[in-house]
Amino acid sequence: MNVPQLRFSGFDGEWNKFILEDIAIVKDGTHDSPKYYSTGYPLVTSKNLMKNGDLDLENVSLISEKDFMEINKRSKVDVGDILFGMIGTLGNPVRVQSSDFAIKNVALIKESKVSNEYILHYLGSKSIEKQFHLNQAGGTQKFIGLGLIRDLKIYLPSEKELQKVASFLTLLDRKINKQQEKIEKLEQFKKGMMQKIFSQELRFRDEGGGKFGEWYIKTLGELGEFKRSYSFSRNNEGEGEYCHIHYGDIHTKLNSIVDQKTELPNISVKGVLEEIETGDVLFADASEDYKDLGKSIVITDNQNRKIVAGLHTHRFKPSALINSVFLMYFTKTESYTTFIRKYGTGVSVLGISKTNLRIIDVPVPSVKEQEKIADYLLSMEKKIKKEKEKLLALEEQKKGFMQGMFI
């Protein structure tokens, strides 16, 4: 029966099946490759459709007015229309809030006979994802044809139930967006405070309210030592007594802080030289771009776990002169980023050597002031982490509702 698993009280009966083309006009943007300019009109492609339903109009290519007008003869975008990624980035439906752009390789859904909010949510559901997989089984999904999008099965309840579903999911979206905005504001505030702290515009005071002494400059090599690279072979991925940190984890999976609550994959290894200890700082020495090259994390509490680091990581053990959390936050400053860009080597894969890292100048206040700075920034980090956990819970909640509410 065409009945959802989860529905509002007071509604019953089966939903009616349609294809998307029956209830909306479905077009797509240009497939040509117009010339790009430094100024002009934005050309939106699938990569500009964000998972959170936003449209990225900053990282777009610009085209001439002539090409803009020509593309819009075929597929003019209006406020309220829905965009859907067809090539590269697939799906990620976005409801248009402004229309000063043209589109390429993006599906355009407009003039729907039902609520566009409902269509927007339905296009982001597991039901649609399953239909794509059924039609493209066995391959890596990189392209969705316009014909397939037009033939997508859409189930519709009565108008009252449809509005109820759309309003409920839109309310969840608003909560998610507010939570995202809260996190972004906290991130910006933290970034601003770090700028003030490391430029010494903002200084901390000692327990008696007195001023700390002047900062001095030391090279990283004078503040500790890099330990030998780890040499081991992995065995039985996902099992074993050792926790593993890979340079890719430092890039994407881990926050700045690794403590006893941080989940790490377990592996069995042979030939371990040394284990990572509390206070150690790990640097990623390889990346495909400068954004992640030299990125660092600090082990604040390993809870007696056996932690080892894999390929392309540099392990640094700070001396008594430098607080490891303070050092990790220094590696998020503009001066550190500038250094990495200057001394990073390679083309397709970039690298930063321990030799080069040793010579970077680090501004060093007294240890007591370092500790105050570290504690302050760490408290902000933990606050942001809690807000991100709330966001994840909201997103999981919405995912669960959508899975039950759509056929």
Residue 118 has pLDDT above 90, yes or no: yes
Q: Is residue 10 part of a domain?
A: no
Q: Give the residues across from 219 on adjacent strands.
A: 361
Domain count, the chain: 3
Q: Evaluate if residue 372 carries a pLDDT over 80.
A: yes
For 331, which DSSP code? Answer: T
DSSP 311-326: TTEEEEEE-TTS-HHH
- Is 2 contained in some domain? no
Q: Could you tell me if 352 and 302 lie in one domain?
A: yes
Position 139 in a domain: yes
**339/405 same-domain check:** no
Q: Is 117 inside a domain boundary?
A: yes
Query: pLDDT, tens digit, for every residue of 153-193?
Result: 999 999 999 999 999 999 999 999 999 999 999 999 999 99
Q: Are residues 149 and 74 in the same domain?
A: yes
Measure the N-to-C terminal CA separation of the chain; round to a whole number of Å. 10
* Angle formed at CA 208 by CA 206 and CA 214, multiple of 5 degrees: 35
- 238 and 353 co-located in one domain: yes
Report yes or no on 8 lying in a domain: no
Q: Give domain status of residue 29, yes or no.
A: yes
- Tell me: do 150 and 37 sit in the same domain: yes
254 and 276 housed in the same domain: yes
- State the residue range of the domain holding 98: 16-156
CATH code at position 403: 1.10.287
**141 and 226 in a common domain:** no
From CA 129, how far away is CA 125, in angstroms rounded? 7
- Domain assignment present for residue 260? The answer is yes
pLDDT the model gives residue 234: 61
Look over the chain and give the mean of its residue pLDDT values, rounded to a whole number: 90
What pLDDT is stored for residue 137 in this prediction?
Answer: 45
pLDDT value of residue 242: 83
- Are both 37 and 93 inside the same structural domain? yes
Cα separation of 237 and 231, whole Å?
Answer: 16
Average pLDDT over residues 111-128: 92
Mean pLDDT of 266-283: 82
User: The pTM is what?
Assistant: 0.84
Q: Same structural domain for residues 31 and 99?
A: yes
DSSP 349: S
pLDDT confidence of residue 138: 44
* Residue 1 covered by a domain: no
Looking at the fold, whether 289 and 344 belong to one and the same domain comes out as yes
- Please say if the pLDDT value at position 17 is more than 70: yes
Same domain, 220 and 137: no
How far is the C-alpha of 330 from the C-alpha of 324, rounded, in Å?
10
Check whether residue 99 and residue 235 sit in a common domain: no
The percentage of the chain sitting over the pLDDT mark of 90, rounded to a whole number, equals 67
The model's pLDDT over 192-243, given as tens digits with 9 standing for 90+, comes to: 999 999 999 999 998 888 999 999 999 999 999 998 755 556 666 667 788 8
What is the pLDDT at residue 255?
A: 82
User: What are the φ/ψ torsions at residue 50 (nearest 5 degrees)?
Assistant: -90, 150
Please tell me the predicted confidence (pLDDT) of residue 190.
95
CATH number at residue 78: 3.90.220.20
User: Mean pLDDT across the stretch 282-307?
Assistant: 89
What pLDDT score does 348 carry?
81
* pLDDT, mean of residues 134-161: 81
Q: With beta carbons less than 8 A apart as the criterion, state whether 284 and 252 touch.
A: no
Q: Which of 118, 79, 72, 111 is nearest to 95 (CA)?
A: 79
CA dihedral 361, 366, 371, 377 (to 10 degrees): -50
Q: Return the DSSP state at 48.
A: G
